[in-house]
């Protein structure tokens, strides 16, 4: 990162509300003392942060016309909240909220709200710290605080769009979401990252914290659709209390640099986490998912299914850690990671990482790397389907199986053509899908 | 329709077909029977162009064209249909998407417009009725989690929609109960016509109680060792295949 990072941090500080200052100053102190990861850092072995070595200025407000935004964001019948380059865009956002859902921007929080945000902000982050979560705290200017009232079941999903739109200058944005799901509440939230810009370099350093009270259910979708020079390093940190359920779904296209850390702590008995994901780098793109399930207490369950299709010269990394603490008896944890390489130069590094300190647990894991199945290809061709279309259908089917587990039907419908388009160089090859 | 001349073929370095000759006229139904390992399924795979099945000698002419020079999808578009003994599961792609892609490809080859979604859906539903397959199967992944019998009926469904000129059924009857067998037989019989031929590859005579063949051939040791009319199948049912060993030797 270039020297202008200091200017950027200063600019963010100027925009931020005063009550954030103590936390931000502490994060800046920590950031100053945090060594940047290198390829020798185990957690960053396969992902180079070299693309960050340039000067990123602060993100500036940018007027996007609604048609541009509609093209980027599928209509999934959701409430919409749009940020452009880190700045809230009220004209592009829904103004009314359903009963039971409270939404506060950090920049507009009153004293009571600020106190609640301060109480919870950072509480889902790992104690050992994460360098880019620290940077997020240091650069924090605005953020979104969402609170679902106890017992409230919000039917309309919330679409939170973090868009970038550059004008030639490299810039950085610092998205932050803090979600508090009250006891026995239910909410679906779609975090949608996309680039509407001219291909100018941008760096989104995003942190999401999900705090689930006992019995709460959160369906969290995280779509990372930035490509090329729209770089992204992001973390989703969830903490589940007793009998809470998190259904997580991720979709990542590749970019020059894309790294996601998903850390779920099962902190109350009976909590359940389901984590599904799809990654689709191609060209010279890179995508890295590091997931971690912290089974901290007994009687929790987790299932995790990630699949990737890696094309051309692209590289993918999947690291799936399951950490079962000594007291976490009767844990059931499953992890599956399957990869399809559609080119001889494509590469994936897949690593399940199990640390089990309890003895009465069921833990299953599997990772595979394969090419398109010759017999499946033959079967489709034996029905008249061209080789090219058959290849698209098989790649699509491989990841569509994971998409089918996503609970939000309008979102599934919106993402299917996006997946198909990823594999079809010629639109006619996807005409029978989606 | 189909003329196979002195066909030799090899799979994984092993010679399986050793001089097979067969001629199937338009509108005819031929049954090919034989013991396990005689090369019955290999013949079907060769005709459909399956990778790994290498033709080392001989020729196959289909409707006047060199079938072996055609790609798998070209054969299908030209009207060759193999009902697989072990249909392949393709999760994540719906049966409907798969069927529409197939039918469109074949229609395009014939110079016909693709069917609109409503018309296609109607045809697919009708075919489901004939194949005795619940319409819910159209929405499921291709063969995904289907029972053995459901997979065979799904093959029949595809054949009904694609209306091939040459249908090859590779042991479609094996593993079917009597009801399912009758469904498959009725499906084939409904497609029979002056311009459409069938090759029924089977181990058992049972299927031929429901589909009357014009000719029956016995395949053993990679060659056709005996040909006759439907009564040959009954003879095989009665005597088994043991008597063949002398003929092959």
A433 Cβ under 8 Å from any chain B Cβ: yes
Per-residue pLDDT reduced to its tens digit, A124-156: 998 888 999 999 999 998 999 999 999 999 999
Nearest-angstrom CA–CA distance, A300 and A214: 13
DSSP-derived letter for residue B16 is E
Which candidate in B90, B95, B96, B117 is best for mutational testing of the A interface (most A CBs within 10 A)? B90
159-178 in chain A: CB under 8 A from chain B: none
pLDDT score of B117: 93
Question: Could you give the 3-state DSSP secondary structure of residue A382?
Answer: coil
Per-residue pLDDT reduced to its tens digit, A232-280: 999 999 999 999 999 999 999 999 999 999 999 999 999 999 999 999 9
B165 Cβ under 8 Å from any chain A Cβ: no
Unique residue bearing structure tokens 């009926």: B153
What is the secondary structure of B30-91 as a DSSP string? EEEE--TTSSHHHHHHHHHT-TTEEEEEEEEEETTEEGGGS-HHHHHHTTEEEE-SSPPPEE
Instruction: Provide the shortest C-alpha distance from residue A401 to chain B (in Å).
Output: 5
Q: Do B73 and A384 touch (CB under 8 A)?
A: yes
**Between helices A131-139 and A21-33, what is the axis angle to 10°?**
140
Per-residue pLDDT reduced to its tens digit, B208-241: 999 999 999 999 999 999 999 999 988 888 888 8
B179 Cβ under 8 Å from any chain A Cβ: no
Which of B51, B98, B105 shows the shortest C-beta gap to A378?
A: B51
pLDDT score of B247: 64
Residues of chain A with pLDDT under 50: none
Evaluate whether B87 touches B155 at the Cβ level (below 8 Å): yes
Query: Does the complex come out with an ipTM higher than 0.95?
Result: yes
Q: Which residues, other chains included, contact B121 with Cβ-Cβ below 8 Å and sequence gap of 6+?
A: B96
Nearest-angstrom CA–CA distance, A247 and A275: 6
DSSP-derived letter for residue A425 is S
What the block records as the tokens of A261 is 């850390």
Q: From residue B164, how far is each of A26, A384, A426, B72 by CA, in Å?
A: 74, 11, 28, 14
**CA atoms within a 13 Å half-sphere pointing along the CA-CB vector of A265:** 17
Residues linked to residue A124 through DSSP beta bridges, in sequence order? none
Count how many residues are written for chain A.
434
Q: Do B91 and A397 touch (CB under 8 A)?
A: yes
Chain A CB contacts of B72 below 8 Å = 378, 381-382
Q: What is the pTM of this model?
A: 0.94
pLDDT score of B36: 85
Unique residue bearing structure tokens 């705090």: A211
Query: How remote is the C-alpha of B14 from its chain's centroid?
Result: 23
A401 Cβ under 8 Å from any chain B Cβ: yes
pLDDT score of B160: 97
Count how many residues are written for chain B.
249
Evaluate whether A208 touches A158 at the Cβ level (below 8 Å): no
Evaluate whether A125 touches A157 at the Cβ level (below 8 Å): no
pLDDT score of B174: 87
Nearest-angstrom CA–CA distance, B126 and B102: 17
Strand stretches in A281-419, DSSP E: 286-295, 301-310, 315-324, 332-341, 347-356, 362-370
Number of inter-chain CB pairs under 8 A, A vs B = 89
pLDDT score of B237: 82
Angle at A41 between CA A37 and CA A42, to 5 degrees: 140
Nearest-angstrom CA–CA distance, A277 and A338: 11
**Between helices B148-162 and B117-131, what is the axis angle to 10°?**
130
Nearest-angstrom CA–CA distance, A307 and A81: 29
Q: Do A383 and B105 touch (CB under 8 A)?
A: yes
Reported as type and span, the H/E element at residue B218 is strand B215-220
pLDDT score of A362: 97
Q: Do A383 and B102 touch (CB under 8 A)?
A: yes
Instruction: Provide the shortest C-alpha distance from residue B90 to chain A (in Å).
Output: 7
What the block records as the tokens of A42 is 């185990």
Pick from B43, B39, B33: which is nearest to B216 by CA?
Answer: B33
Which candidate in A381, A383, A387 is best for mutational testing of the B interface (most B CBs within 10 A)? A383
Residues of chain B with pLDDT under 50: none
pLDDT score of B187: 95
């Amino acid at each position: 990162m270039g020297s202008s990072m200091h200017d950027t941090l200063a600019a963010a500080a100027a925009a931020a509300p005063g009550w954030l200052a103590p936390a931000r100053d502490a994060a800046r102190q920590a950031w100053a003392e945090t060594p940047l990861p290198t390829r020798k850092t185990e957690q960053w072995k396969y992902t180079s942060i070299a693309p960050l070595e340039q000067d990123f200025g602060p993100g500036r407000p940018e007027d996007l016309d609604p048609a541009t935004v509609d093209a980027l964001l599928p209509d999934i019948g959701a409430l919409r909240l749009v940020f452009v380059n880190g700045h809230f865009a009220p004209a592009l956002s829904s103004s009314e909220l359903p009963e039971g859902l409270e939404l506060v921007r950090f920049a507009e929080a009153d004293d009571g709200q600020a106190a609640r945000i301060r109480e919870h902000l950072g509480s889902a982050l790992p104690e050992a710290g994460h360098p880019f979560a620290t940077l997020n705290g240091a650069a924090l200017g605005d953020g979104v605080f969402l609170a679902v009232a106890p017992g409230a079941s919000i039917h309309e999903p919330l679409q939170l769009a973090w868009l970038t739109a550059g004008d030639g200058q490299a810039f950085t944005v610092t998205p932050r979401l803090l979600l508090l799901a009250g006891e026995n509440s239910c909410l679906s939230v779609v975090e949608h990252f996309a680039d509407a810009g001219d291909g100018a370099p941008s760096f989104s350093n995003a942190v999401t914290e999900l705090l689930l009270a006992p019995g709460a259910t959160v369906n969290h979708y995280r779509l990372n659709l930035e490509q090329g020079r729209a770089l992204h390093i992001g973390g989703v940190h969830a903490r589940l209390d007793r009998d809470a359920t998190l259904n997580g779904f991720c979709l990542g296209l590749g970019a020059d640099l894309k790294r996601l850390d998903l850390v779920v702590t099962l902190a109350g008995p009976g909590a359940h986490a389901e984590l599904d994901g799809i990654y689709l780098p191609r060209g010279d793109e890179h995508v890295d998912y590091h997931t971690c399930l912290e089974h901290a207490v007994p009687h929790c369950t987790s299932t995790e299914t990630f699949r990737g299709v890696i094309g051309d010269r692209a590289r993918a990394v999947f690291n799936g850690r399951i950490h079962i603490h000594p007291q976490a008896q009767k844990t059931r944890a499953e992890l599956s990671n399957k990869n399809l390489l559609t080119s001889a130069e494509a590469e994936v590094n897949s690593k399940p990482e199990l640390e089990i300190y309890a003895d009465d647990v069921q833990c299953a894991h599997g990772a595979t790397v394969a090419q398109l199945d010759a017999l499946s290809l033959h079967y489709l061709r034996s029905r008249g389907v061209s080789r090219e279309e058959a290849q698209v259908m098989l790649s699509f089917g491989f990841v569509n199986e994971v998409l089918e587990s996503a609970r939000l039907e309008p979102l599934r419908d919106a993402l299917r053509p996006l997946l198909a388009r990823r594999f079809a160089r010629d639109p006619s090859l996807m005409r029978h899908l989606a | 329709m189909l003329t196979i001349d002195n066909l030799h073929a090899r799979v994984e370095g092993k010679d399986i077909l050793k001089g097979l000759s067969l001629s199937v006229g338009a509108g005819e139904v031929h049954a090919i029977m034989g013991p396990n390992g005689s090369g019955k399924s290999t013949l079907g795979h060769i005709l459909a162009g399956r990778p790994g099945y290498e033709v080392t000698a001989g020729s196959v002419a289909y409707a006047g064209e060199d079938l072996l020079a055609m790609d798998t999808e070209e054969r299908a578009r030209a009207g060759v249909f193999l009902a697989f003994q072990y249909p392949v599961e393709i999760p994540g792609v719906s049966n409907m998407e798969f069927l529409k892609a197939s039918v469109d490809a074949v229609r395009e080859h014939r110079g016909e417009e693709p069917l609109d979604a409503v018309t296609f859906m109607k045809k697919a539903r009708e075919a489901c009725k004939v194949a005795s397959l619940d319409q819910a199967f159209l929405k499921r992944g291709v063969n995904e989690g289907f029972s053995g019998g459901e997979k065979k009926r799904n093959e029949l469904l595809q054949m009904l929609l694609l209306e091939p000129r040459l249908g090859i059924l590779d042991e479609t009857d094996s593993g079917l109960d009597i009801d399912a067998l009758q469904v498959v037989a009725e499906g084939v019989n409904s497609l029979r016509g002056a311009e459409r031929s069938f090759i029924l590859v089977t181990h058992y005579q049972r299927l031929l109680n429901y589909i009357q063949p014009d000719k029956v051939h016995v395949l053993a040791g990679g060659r056709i060792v005996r040909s006759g009319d439907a009564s040959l199948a009954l003879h095989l049912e009665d005597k088994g295949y043991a008597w063949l060993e002398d003929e092959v030797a």
